[in-house]
Every structure is written in structure tokens, then in C-alpha cells.
Structure 1
Amino acid sequence: MQIDLPVIWAAIIGLGVFIYVMLDGFDLGIGLLFPFFEEKAEREVMLNTVAPVWDGNETFLVLGGAGLYGAFPVVYSTLLPANYMPLILMVVGLIFRGAAFELRAKATRTQHAWDLAFIGGSALAAMCQGITLGSLLQGIKIVDDKFAGDPFDWFSPFSVFCGFGVLLTYATLGCGWLILKTDGELQRKMRQIMRPLLAVLLLAIAIVSLWTVLGLPAVRQRWFFSGNLGWFLPVPILVVLCTLGIYRSLNRSHEAMPFLLSLAICFLGYTGLIISIWPYIVPPSLTIWDASSSRSSQLFALVGTVIVLPVIIVYNAMQYRVFRGKVREGDHGYH
């Protein structure tokens, strides 16, 4: 029996993208929450919770991009040209926030400017990721395995709203992370912010879900007429249960549960995306098998990935283990 390498590679890339969203999501979310806190000490604590791990979080974005290039090269002639602008802006945002991490701690007169760079870079990166997601869902015009649409096809009310949805998701993850990693007055403020933020996120999820069903015929076809409905039905129920669980944990002052349940909501949304596009890697016409590189190329790259991926995962896990525990004002060794 021959191994279906495109399916294996789709699973690897899907895993890498989800781990990136999970880890860099709360990382970007902290930048989105920055404007709500003016005190320097509070901002320092917020940054210190991710200072030891933020660059490692982005490793999985590189993994996903490299895997995509090696296993599904046709995607680079379709998905990327269709989203050049948001993807370039995303990279610009990541550069600005990365520079802000390193330079704001050393700045004196320009620290406020680096705070703005951190906020703007986080917002720009998150927004562009959501716009690219919306562009993927609404479909990309392909002729002869090449992008055949307009350079601004990515810009639509649906894709922009998906961008705001990703902003809300990351901000919620950031809130949950800071509840876990801080205490005292900062933690109390995060609990207050998370309640209305979660309500707005739930509304955004409902709107995006309805929009995809009513406004995107290809997605509606895959949900209701391709045998996928049974897989999707538990998703909205579980999202509501996770939301109720977060509110309950906030009321009972649980520290880890808001973050863990926020991750669960993120995972459920990700499964909804997979159900909406599977087996297409670039909807509405390019499947994972259509976009695949040669079997020998995929097999060669798979051998390297099997060796490297566990090392990356263990390295990142060790980071979080070493820097576990609360972060408080005046802690040293994070910059």
C-alpha cells in the first residue's frame, strides 16, 4: 500500500500553521492589548511574559512556509500572487514588532515610538493574516496552475472582516495568557477586559460563519452537500460551551482555564476552516494532489522534517518549561 504523501504533508503544514497561530497568537495579542495600558511598569510586565519565547514562536511560520514550498510548489504561483500585498505588509508588521522587542528596552527618549511600533506591527501582522485567510476562503481564480485574478481580489468586505476576527481572536488569546502569567492588579484588569472581548469575539465568529454559508456558495456546498455536515455540527456547540467555561472560570478566578479554553476556541475555528476547504489547498479548484511536487521531492523533504520537527517542538517546549511561572514587576533576565 502506497503512502499518500500529499495528505501527510497537508497534515504537517496544517499542524505547523496551527501551532504558529496558537503560540504567536497570544504573542501578537499582547501588542493589541498594549493601548489599554499606559503605565510603563505594566507594559514591561506584559512584554516580559513573552520576551523569552516570542522569536521561537515564529519558527512554526517558517516551517509552514518552507513545507509549503517543498511539498506544494504550485501554491506559490497561485496563493502568493493573489495575496502579495497583505503578505508583504504582514512581514513588515513582524519586522517592526521584532525590532520593538529588542530596541524599546534600550531606548530612553524614543521608547514611546517603539511602543507604537510594537502596537502597529502586531495589529498589521494580525490583520493581514486574517485578510489572507478571508481571501483563501472566498476563492482564488486559477488558470493553468497560475493566478489569473486581479491584484486586489484579496480586498473585499469579507476578507477585511476576517482580519478583524483574527484581531479579536489574538487579543483574546493574549488576555488569557496574561491572566495565566501575571497576578495582582494587572491580572484583575485582564479579567475585566476579557469579558466584553470574548462576547465580541463570539459575535464575530457567528457573523463569519453565517457569511461563509450565505455568501460563499463553494463553502456552502462543502458544508451541506459533501458529507461534511456531521463533522461540523459539534463545532458551534463546543464553541458556546468553551465560551461559557471561560466566563465561569473568570468568575471563579481560575488562572489557566481562560487561556486553555481560548486555545480550544481557536482550535475549533481552525477545524471549521479545514472542513470548509478540504481537500482544496487553494479553493475553489486546486486540491492538495493537484498542487503537489513530485513524490521523490516530498519523500526527501519528509525525511528531513521527521528529524527536525521533533527537535523544534522539544526546543519550544523547553523554553516554556524554563520560563514557567508568574512574571512580576522588577523581575530580571528577560531582555
Structure 2
Amino acid sequence: MEWYLPVIWGLIIGVAVIMYVVLDGFDLGIGILFPFAKEEKERDVMMNTVAPFWDGNETWLILGGGGLWVAFPKAYAVVMPALYLPVIIMLLALVFRGVAFEFRWVAASSRRLWNFAFSAGSLVAAFFQGIILGGLVQGITVKDGAFAGGPLDWATPFALLCGVGVVVGYALLGATWLLVKTEGFIADRARSHAIPLLLAVVVLMGLVSLWTPLAFDRIATRWFSRPNIFFLAPVPIITAVLTYLVWHWLKTGREMLPFFGTIGLFVLGFLGLAISTFPYLVPPSLTVWQTAAAPPSQILMLFGVIFLLPVVLGYIVFVYWIFRGKVREGEGYH
């Protein structure tokens, strides 16, 4: 087997996951922050900041899940039974949120109901994305190449902590996105939310960073054995510096920098988890090479990705450029 093909596909899936987390994260964050808006016109502006983007952002979820299925079918066959329930709940929440997004504009008499649906769908989807992440990091019971655990193995305190962490992180992304796209009292309220959310994210990231090496020997070995500790030390140091910078930018009234700084924190967090688990695609037993599809299948699908990925990236750049600038009361794209 060509050793590099699973590595390439692992990188593609990793890029798809981080793109989804960042892009769909801020519009899920808008939904999580929805109940804190004081007036309906404020919610209208908040929703209009993501109206041109939210459905396109979910493209990356399809690429990540589809890539896992075609490039690593053995991993897909293990991960899905292990995390079936949280995956189904997450997908239903995303569907519910999408329906609420569309119906809210036309169903004026039941707008409160759709406000709740939009917010609840966003919250539940974010929470169970964190549950799925925690379930993967803590490990899946595998015997003879198949899932051998129970249907609720994922329901652990560590996975619940990851779920809360993703919710708070998405809320921070949403708040900093509002700084970029709004002004006046909406931006002021978003800034007031962003500072305590940043502190909460730091605490939760710290708890996860401490929990993983203490609970999982394989992760402690990866981070604290020599010479790894010297090569990996810059990751937490850069994270601490970037956290301070985001806090400083929020305090000094910056608009764009807090959002991109928060994206940087997500990327660093994802990088840390990738370092902790690679080369295991199904920790702690199945690697990317053990779960990979036949090389001809990987090569065939790779040609498709090479063609389509630039198209998707070009579309994203085009849409974000077209709909750049502030969204003001009374303006919208719905």
C-alpha cells in the first residue's frame, strides 16, 4: 500500500473538519447567542449576518463525513456504530435549525417558536459535536476490527466537558463575528459577551488539556516524553500568547482581529488534538493505514477532490467578498 495516500486523505479530512468548525461554528454561535438579544429587530440583524453563508458552510461537514466513508471505510464502520446516537441527534438538530432559519422570516405569528427552534437547534448541534469529539479522543472499543462496545460508551464526563467546550467556543466565534458584521448596540452587546466567553474558553481548554494526559497514557507519552516535549512546547505557548492578544483586542475596541484570533485558538486546539491522536483514526487501536481503502479507490476519489476543492474554496471566497461589510437594521439577504 502506498503509505502516503492515507496521510493525504487524513490531511484532507482534517482540513474539512477545521473548515467546518470555523465556518459553521460562528453561525451556530449566532443561534446560541440568540436568547440574549433584547429585541426582535436585534435578532433579525444577527440572523442576517449569516444568511448568505450558513448553508454553504455546512458543505465541509459533507466533505469530512464523505471523505471518511470513501477513504477510510473500516474507520467509518467502527466510528458510526460507536457514536450513532450523538451523530443522529446532531444531524437532526442541524436540520431543525435550517428549517427554523427559513420559516422564521415568513411565519410572523409563530416567530417566537421558530426563534426557540433556531436557538435550540444550534445549541444541541454544537453540544453533540463536542460529544462526538470527546468520544473519539477518549477511545473506542474495537475487537477484530469491529466496534465491540456499548451504545452509550460515549456518555462520559470527558465527552460532556468537550460538549460544553464546543458550545462556549462557538458562542465566542459568534460574538466576535458580530463585531465584524454589526455596529452600535448589537456590536456593543457582542463585545460584552465575548470577554467572559473568552475566559470560559480558556478555562475549558485548560481542563481538556490537563484531563487528556492524566486520563490517557498514550497522550501523556506523546506530549511529555523526550524529545517530543521540546518540539511540542510552542503549541501551548502560542495558545497563551494568542489568548492574551484576543483579550487585548476586545478591550481596545478592535473589530476584525478578535474574530481571526478566535479562529486561531480553534486551529491550535484542533492541532493539539491531532497531535494527541495521530496516526490513530480510531483511538487507541486503528491507524490511518489500517483503516484505509484500497489505493485505487483513494486515487480515484483524490482526483475528484483535487478538481472540486478549488471550486468550493473559490465559491466561499466569492460569497464572503460579495457580502462583505456591515449589516444594518432593515438590511438583509433572506
RMSD between superposed Cα atoms in Å = 1.3
Question: Which residue of 1 is the match for residue 278 of structure 2?
Answer: 278
Given residue 78 of structure 2, which amino acid in structure 1 is its aligned partner? T
Given residue 199 of structure 2, which amino acid in structure 1 is its aligned partner? A
Q: How is 1:170-319 mapped onto 2 (pairs within 5 angstroms)?
A: 170-225=170-225, 227-319=227-319
Percentage identity across paired residues of the two chains: 48
Provide the rounded CA distance (Å) in 1 between the counterparts of 2:241 and 2:45. 31
**1:70 and 2:70 equivalent?**
yes
Q: How is 1:29-178 mapped onto 2 (pairs within 5 angstroms)?
A: 29-178=29-178
Provide the rounded CA distance (Å) in 1 between the counterparts of 2:125 and 2:79. 18
CA shift for structure 1 position 228: 3.6
CA shift for structure 1 position 234: 1.3
CA shift for structure 1 position 279: 0.5
Q: Secondary structure at the match of 1:105?
A: helix
Given residue 286 of structure 2, which amino acid in structure 1 is its aligned partner? L
Provide the rounded CA distance (Å) in 1 between the counterparts of 2:247 and 2:278. 33
Provide the rounded CA distance (Å) in 2 between the counterparts of 1:272 and 1:91. 26
Given residue 84 of structure 2, which amino acid in structure 1 is its aligned partner? Y
**CA deviation string 1:198-228 (max 9, x = no partner):** 1111011101110111112222122223754
Asked if structure 1 preserves the Cα contact closer than 8 Å seen for 2:3 and 2:289, the reply is no
Provide the rounded CA distance (Å) in 2 between the counterparts of 1:275 and 1:14. 12
Provide the rounded CA distance (Å) in 2 between the counterparts of 1:45 and 1:241. 33
CA shift for structure 1 position 290: 0.2
Unmatched tracts of structure 1, length 5 or more: none
Provide the rounded CA distance (Å) in 2 between the counterparts of 1:226 and 1:88. 41
Given residue 75 of structure 1, which amino acid in structure 2 is its aligned partner? A
**CA deviation string 1:29-69 (max 9, x = no partner):** 01111111130011000000000110000001001111111
Q: Secondary structure at the match of 2:177?
A: helix
Asked if structure 1 preserves the Cα contact closer than 8 Å seen for 2:127 and 2:166, the reply is yes
Q: Secondary structure at the match of 1:109?
A: helix
Given residue 309 of structure 1, which amino acid in structure 2 is its aligned partner? L
CA shift for structure 1 position 3: 6.5
Provide the rounded CA distance (Å) in 1 between the counterparts of 2:16 and 2:166. 18
CA shift for structure 1 position 295: 0.4
Asked if structure 2 preserves the Cα contact closer than 8 Å seen for 1:83 and 1:154, the reply is yes
Provide the rounded CA distance (Å) in 1 between the counterparts of 2:124 and 2:61. 16
Asked if structure 1 preserves the Cα contact closer than 8 Å seen for 2:169 and 2:197, the reply is no
Given residue 223 of structure 1, which amino acid in structure 2 is its aligned partner? W
Asked if structure 2 preserves the Cα contact closer than 8 Å seen for 1:28 and 1:170, the reply is yes
Given residue 243 of structure 2, which amino acid in structure 1 is its aligned partner? T
Asked if structure 2 preserves the Cα contact closer than 8 Å seen for 1:182 and 1:326, the reply is yes
**CA deviation string 1:57-99 (max 9, x = no partner):** 0001001111111100011211111001100000011011100
Q: Secondary structure at the match of 1:104?
A: helix
Asked if structure 2 preserves the Cα contact closer than 8 Å seen for 1:245 and 1:261, the reply is yes
Given residue 26 of structure 1, which amino acid in structure 2 is its aligned partner? F
Provide the rounded CA distance (Å) in 2 between the counterparts of 1:218 and 1:100. 43
Provide the rounded CA distance (Å) in 2 between the counterparts of 1:231 and 1:59. 34
Given residue 13 of structure 2, which amino acid in structure 1 is its aligned partner? I
Asked if structure 2 preserves the Cα contact closer than 8 Å seen for 1:132 and 1:159, the reply is yes
CA shift for structure 1 position 232: 2.7
Q: Secondary structure at the match of 2:281?
A: strand
**CA deviation string 1:130-174 (max 9, x = no partner):** 011111111101112110011100000000010000011111111
CA shift for structure 1 position 285: 0.6
Given residue 35 of structure 2, which amino acid in structure 1 is its aligned partner? P
Unmatched tracts of structure 2, length 5 or more: none
Provide the rounded CA distance (Å) in 1 between the counterparts of 2:240 and 2:210. 15
Given residue 239 of structure 2, which amino acid in structure 1 is its aligned partner? V
